[in-house]
Amino acid sequence: MKEIKLSKSVRAHGDELHVLELREPTGKDVRELGFPYTASGDAGVKMDAGVIAKYISRLAGVPPSSVDEMQPSDLNTISWEIVGFFLGNSAQDNS
């Protein structure tokens, strides 16, 4: 589990959340949601915000409406954490 402190709380299931806990994705998650990024020709990574939003909802156990409330800076931090599950520490070094 990865804990991520939010800069601004969001509502989920009737509670105010200040921290999200992300579980690691499984093969089933990848099969159902796909990879949250594509590799570009210059060895870069392009994140897919739509797929990442689905991963946030699933891995943190929050509804999509909670993801919609998140601050862009929090979404960016969480996005790199999710991509890091797939690419290892090199992705998290970019955040």
- The pTM of this model reads 0.88
Q: Nearest Cα to 60, choosing from 73, 79, 46?
A: 79
Residue 47: domain span: 2-92
Would you say 50 and 34 are in contact if contact means Cβ atoms under 8 Å apart?
Answer: no
**At which residue do the structure tokens 């929050």 appear?**
62
Q: 23-65: per-residue pLDDT in tens? A: 999 999 999 999 999 987 776 889 999 999 999 999 999 999 9
Instruction: Tell me what pLDDT residue 89 has.
Output: 61
How many distinct structural domains can be found in the chain? 1
Residue 23's SS3 state is coil
